[in-house]
Amino acid sequence: MTKKYQTHHVKEHKKQQHCPTCNRYIKHNERYPDYVCNKCMDVIADKAGSPVMFYNITNDGHGCQGKYIEDGKLYRSSRCFIKGVKCFAGEAYFGGIVIRPQK
Ligand SMILES: [Zn+2]
């Protein structure tokens, strides 16, 4: 008995994916198949290990700006590190911030 793999009903299936930096199961996202989970977004750091965070520049969820959590200074890069994995931050398609590993 052979079951045919159905690829045309993919959207009806509940899919999951792994967070690339902690390997936790997270909700599947077709547009961002390698986005970093919320927990890991709390432990973003710069190259030297100082905690940074990213946020939208406008209230309607556009733009991406980083800042240092400790002193609020602007972090002028979209590159960051999560648990030693080089990542980059960007504006998410539906608003908000999405962090993904740098490839
Ligand atoms: Zn994670």
Number of C-beta neighbours around residue 64 at 10 A:
18
| Ligand 1 geometric centre to CA of 2 (Å) | 36
> 3 in a domain, yes or no?
no
Confidence check: pLDDT of 34 > 80? yes
Question: Do the domain assignments include residue 58?
Answer: yes
Q: pLDDT, tens digit, for every residue of 65-76?
A: 999 999 999 999
User: Is position 24 within any domain?
Assistant: no
Q: According to the model, what pLDDT value does residue 7 have?
A: 56
pTM, rounded to two decimals: 0.83
Residue 38 Cα to ligand 1 midpoint, Å, equals: 7
Position 8 in a domain: no
- Ion ligand 1 — residues with CB under 5 Å? 19, 21-22, 37, 40
Domain span at residue 49 reads 36-101
The domain total for the chain is 1
What pLDDT does residue 13 have? 60
The rounded Å distance from CA 43 to ligand 1 centre is 9
- Give yes or no for residue 32 having a pLDDT over 80: yes
Distance 61 CA to ligand 1 centre (A): 22
Q: What is the largest CA-CA distance in the chain?
A: 63
The Å distance, Cα 31 to ligand 1 centre, comes to 17
Gap from CA of 25 to ligand 1 centroid (Å): 8
pLDDT for the residue 11: 55
The label of the residue with tokens 């590190």 reads: 81
Q: Provide the pLDDT confidence category of residue 51 given band limits of 50, 70 and 90.
A: very high
Q: Is residue 15 part of a domain?
A: no
Query: Would residue 29 count as lying in a domain?
Result: no
* Residue 52 CA to its chain's centroid (Å): 14
pLDDT at res. 4: 59
| pLDDT band with cut points at 50, 70 and 90 for residue 94 | confident
Residue 56 inside a domain? The answer is yes
Task: Give the residue from 85, 79, 98 showing the smallest Cα distance to 32.
Answer: 98
Choice among 5-14, 20-29, 64-73, 80-89 with the minimum mean pLDDT: 5-14
